[in-house]
């Protein structure tokens, strides 16, 4: 009888150990899957790590009393996410002057860029441009950056006003001249980077740069050698039959 009880106890202990080992291995597999889901480590040709997804949320620096701006990509009751890029279909084009950051939605005071009327954060919508003052906490992966507006108001350039300004710059109708620089170059299209300066209601001239994807046809007149970073002047083909696409009639390097 005692031998049977002892054997039963041993079997129970073995089952418990097996269960604990299984649970431990399952947890380790799950953690590894979570890490792998964030992406893979990217190495340079000489073996140095270029990007490590496991460090995405690590703080790399803190900047106090700075001004950032960016496009609102997500707006919720809890947070506002600024994005430092424009989207063209599934791809995004980075704008150096804009900053990726998540801002806690604390119902901060908001000021319309043009009217100077004051609101709370319910005034902010996706697609708007925000100018914020405060503390930026930079992360290893920029999309994890956080920004504390402290007691500062948020300047809001509404998306429809921003689109109107962009269109005026493209049509060269703005009082403050915009410069145009070549961005990335592809076979039949390029990205042009526009500066968009404006001093409405302010002694400070703000810059709202943007990019445009423009197409090159066989009939496009190209003057000079198109290279990234070169300043250009352009004329668009208004007879291309597609109002949603800008086609170059002429582009001239002016550097």
pLDDT above 70: residue 54? yes
Q: Are 54 and 35 in contact (CB under 8 A)?
A: yes
Question: Which of 9-18, 60-69, 88-97 is predicted least confidently?
Answer: 9-18
Binned at pLDDT 50, 70 and 90, residue 136 comes out as very high
Q: What is the pLDDT of residues 144-162, one digit of tens each?
A: 999 999 999 999 999 999 9
Q: How far apart are CA 114 and CA 110, in angstroms?
A: 12
DSSP 53-67: GGGTT-EEEEEEEEE
The two tokens of residue 89 are 């279909």
Q: How far is CA 55 from CA 38, 139, 199, in A?
A: 10, 9, 40
Q: Are 247 and 170 in contact (CB under 8 A)?
A: no
pLDDT above 80: residue 238? no
Pairing label, strands 206-207, 85-88: unpaired
- Render the burial of 229-244: b for 16+ CB within 10 Å, e for the rest: eeebebebbeeeeeee
pLDDT at 34: 45
């Amino acid at each position: 009888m005692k031998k049977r009880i002892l054997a039963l106890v041993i079997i129970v202990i073995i089952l418990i150990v097996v269960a604990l080992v299984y649970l431990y291995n399952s947890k380790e597999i799950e953690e590894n899957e979570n890490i792998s889901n964030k992406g893979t480590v990217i190495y340079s040709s000489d073996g140095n790590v270029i990007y490590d997804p496991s460090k995405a949320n690590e703080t790399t620096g803190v900047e106090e009393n700075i001004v950032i701006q960016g496009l609102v990509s997500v707006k919720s009751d809890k947070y506002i996410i600024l994005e430092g890029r424009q989207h063209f279909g599934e791809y995004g084009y980075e704008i150096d002057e804009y900053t990726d950051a998540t801002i806690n939605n604390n119902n901060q005071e908001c000021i319309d860029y043009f009217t100077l009327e004051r609101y709370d954060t319910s005034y902010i919508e996706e697609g708007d441009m925000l100018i914020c003052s405060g503390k930026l906490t930079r992360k290893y992966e920029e999309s994890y950056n956080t920004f504390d507006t402290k007691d500062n108001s948020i300047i809001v350039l509404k998306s429809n006003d921003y689109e109107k300004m962009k269109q005026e710059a493209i049509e060269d109708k703005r009082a403050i001249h915009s410069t145009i620089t070549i961005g990335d170059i592809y076979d039949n299209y390029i990205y042009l980077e526009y500066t968009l300066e404006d001093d409405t209601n302010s002694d400070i001239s703000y810059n709202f740069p943007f990019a445009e994807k423009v197409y090159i046809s066989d009939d496009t007149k190209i003057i000079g050698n198109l290279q990234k970073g070169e300043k250009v002047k352009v004329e668009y083909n208004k007879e291309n039959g597609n109002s949603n696409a800008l086609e170059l009639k002429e582009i001239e390097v002016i550097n």
